[in-house]
Amino acid sequence: MRSVYRVAQVRSAESALMATLPAGTLMQRAAAGLARRCAVTLRGQGGVYASRVVLLVGPGDNGGDALFAGAMLARQGVQVGALLGDPDRAHAEGLAALRGAGGRVLADWPKRIDLVVDGLLGIGATGALRGTALTLAEQLAERTPRPVVIAVDVPSGVGVDTGDVPGTAIHADVTVAFGCLKPAHVVGPAAVLAGQVELVDIGIVPHLVGDPALRVADTADIAAWWPHPGPVSDKYTRGVVGVATGSAGYPGAALLSLSGALAGPAGLVRYAGSAHEIVVPAHPSVIAAPRMAEAGRVQAWVCGSGLGTDDRAAAEVRGVLAAPVPALLDADAITLLVDGSMSSELRSRDAPTVLTPHDREYARLAGADPGADRVAAAQKLASWTRSVVLLKGDRTVVAGPSGEAWVNPTGTPALATGGTGDVLSGLLGSLLAAGLPAIRAAVVAAYIHGLAGRIAATSGPVTAVDVAAALRPAIASLTRTPTGTAPVRPT
Ligand SMILES: NC(=O)C1=CN([C@@H]2O[C@H](COP(=O)(O)OP(=O)(O)OC[C@H]3O[C@@H](n4cnc5c(N)ncnc54)[C@H](O)[C@@H]3O)[C@@H](O)[C@H]2O)[C@@H](O)CC1
């Protein structure tokens, strides 16, 4: 598991550590890690000696890191040139070190570039890129062929604490993050611009205070949390999941959510709904009934997709809300919550509730788009509804009513196709029925669903049926890979 911290937490940890060290020590640690990573890239492109590196240098310490790393590379025979965003405010000692090692300040972009180091802005950034920093970022974006870019701490132009991208920003191949992960490395569009994130330990971790802003699970966590049957398990002790989705008009939603539920750890899957005659030929192990009241006992309900929004559907959602077991509400069930007529039933539930909105469903329910800070948006809805909220996206966010938040690292654009959400809700319901705490069930389901999307995408364009079929190999891969496939590797 990786913990992600906000800028204020990083700043106070850095201050606490700096008070115990000679001046400049942290910047030297950061620059050394950055220079090492740059050398790895240059070696991979044909060699370090005589390669050409351009530093983009901003007015703060982020630019200082780039200048000191440039000096280290210059001493290894690299031709290093610096483009200064604000010549009067460039880090003076860093600039002297670069010049002393044979590096130069450039008046313009050179023709040949093997690597660009983005040291325009780090954790001191506010708002969209502006001034010369913006001009340099725009000029970089226009270059063809596009040079390889390594960002210093964060890609310039991103919202470090939110992961939003308010304007032009640098698109990095690699981001060398100092000390710990920040939200921009893992969430929102910023996470895509960060590329491969590599952590350099500069010693601040023991000084980080307070709960992390976010957590990211890795394969080892998911493997440890996945419930397995024991020698005395039976189909009932493993948990029974009830699926109230689809309808005679939309039987596909029922079939897809059932395929997700059947891949999960529950021992039995029951179906309740008007597609009951259709689901059994497709999934013979499912026990089907026309209504919830006739479905038999379950340890969790999944309700919503393809249900419709008529009186019958509303009665089913009320029935699920009244049931004393964990409940997942998706799609049409979320729509039925929008008018507020079921708010008190929702907010007063004793058993856990999970809501799985995409952005448009979120906007209908919360009254506004998730906006720039997707984590805060999910936390707000979780707190108001007293539910776990799984806000779908390329980096799906999971937030609990107490404020705990997770981001899923396995997402893929391949999942952006109709019906994949139904597969996710079935799988998540099965994890709830197997007894996982709601927030953990949501984190595990999002992770496995993302892996399945990636596996399905290896054979070409993906449908929800392909994602459902890939759930089993995704789950099997947990036991084959004892430690992480997280997107972050320490250097
Ligand atoms: N504080 C520390 O102990 C350490 C800091 N380090 C580096 O220092 C960085 C933070 O340095 P700073 O606090 O100096 O901040 P930055 O280097 O991010 O620069 C902030 C300055 O950039 C300008 N600026 C802010 N937003 C802008 C925008 N949108 N467009 C154009 N200009 C903008 C402002 O003049 C602001 O003062 C970290 O990200 C990291 O790279 C590392 O050297 C490790 C140690």
Q: What pLDDT digit, counting tens, does each position of 334-362 carry?
A: 999 999 899 999 999 999 999 999 999 99
Q: How confident is the model at residue 488 (pLDDT cuts 50, 70, 90)?
A: low
124 is in an annotated binding site: yes
For ligand 1, pick from 123, 161, 199, 201 the residue to mutate: most ligand atoms within 8 Å of CB.
123
Alpha-carbon distance of 168 to 140, in angstroms, equals 11
Position 249 scores a pLDDT of 87
Higher pLDDT, 207 or 487: 207
- For 72-124, write each residue's pLDDT tens digit: 999 999 999 999 999 999 999 999 999 999 999 999 999 999 999 999 999 99
For ligand 1, pick from 62, 165, 175, 180 the residue to mutate: most ligand atoms within 8 Å of CB.
62
CA of 7 to the centre of ligand 1 (A): 11
Q: CB within 8 A of 448, min separation 6: which ones?
A: 222, 427, 471, 474, 475, 478
| pLDDT of 255 above 60 | yes
122 ligand 1 Cβ < 6 A: yes
Alpha-carbon distance of 397 to 405, in angstroms, equals 7
Please give the C-alpha separations between residue 387 and each of 25, 305, 443, 469, in angstroms, as whole numbers: 45, 18, 14, 29
CATH class, 2-209 region: alpha beta
Closest ligand 1 atom, residue 131 Cα? 31
Position 44 scores a pLDDT of 97
| Contact assessment for residue 286 and residue 271, using Cβ atoms and an 8 Å cutoff | yes
Position 489 scores a pLDDT of 52
60 ligand 1 Cβ < 6 A: yes
- For 187-227, write each residue's pLDDT tens digit: 999 999 999 999 999 999 999 999 999 999 999 999 999 99
What order of strands is seen across the sheet that includes strand 2-4?
2-4, 214-216, 405-407, 397-399, 388-391, 353-355, 327-329, 300-303, 240-244, 268-272, 287-289
Indicate the CATH number for domain 219-490. Answer: 3.40.1190.20
145 ligand 1 Cβ < 6 A: no
The two tokens of residue 351 are 């058993």
Alpha-carbon distance of 142 to 265, in angstroms, equals 50
Nearest C-alpha neighbor of 125 from the set 115, 141, 108, 137? 137
Query: What's the burial of 135, exposed, middle or buried (CB within 10 Å: 0-12/13-18/19+)?
Result: middle
Closest ligand 1 atom, residue 17 Cα? 3
Report the percentage of the chain scoring pLDDT > 90. Answer: 97
Q: Which residues pair with 67 in a beta bridge?
A: none
145: preceding bond cis by omega (within 30 degrees):
yes
CA of 126 to the centre of ligand 1 (A): 9
| pLDDT of 485 above 90 | no
For ligand 1, pick from 34, 55, 61, 67 the residue to mutate: most ligand atoms within 8 Å of CB.
61
Position 483 scores a pLDDT of 46
Closest ligand 1 atom, residue 157 Cα? 29
- Map out the domains of the chain as residue ranges: 2-209, 219-490
Backbone angles phi, psi at 429, to 5 degrees: -60, -40
427 ligand 1 Cβ < 6 A: no
Q: CB within 8 A of 30, min separation 6: which ones?
A: 65, 152, 153, 178, 200, 202
The two tokens of residue 320 are 């699920």
- Average pLDDT on 257-272 reads 98
CA angle in degrees (0–180, nearest 5) for 11-14-18: 140
The residue whose CA has the least distance to atom 9 of ligand 1 is: 62
153 is in an annotated binding site: yes
- Average pLDDT on 357-373 reads 96
Nearest C-alpha neighbor of 486 from the set 284, 191, 255, 211? 191
Position 87 scores a pLDDT of 94
Nearest C-alpha neighbor of 151 from the set 185, 176, 187? 176
Q: How confident is the model at residue 482 (pLDDT cuts 50, 70, 90)?
A: very low
- Average pLDDT on 270-293 reads 95
CA of 123 to the centre of ligand 1 (A): 5
CA of 104 to the centre of ligand 1 (A): 22
CA of 173 to the centre of ligand 1 (A): 20
Provide the terminal-to-terminal Cα distance of the chain, rounded to the nearest Å: 17
The two tokens of residue 123 are 């954790």
CA of 149 to the centre of ligand 1 (A): 18
Nearest C-alpha neighbor of 140 from the set 172, 103, 188, 98? 172
26 ligand 1 Cβ < 6 A: yes
Q: CB within 8 A of 220, min separation 6: which ones?
A: 482, 483, 484
| pLDDT of 174 above 90 | yes
Q: How confident is the model at residue 155 (pLDDT cuts 50, 70, 90)?
A: very high
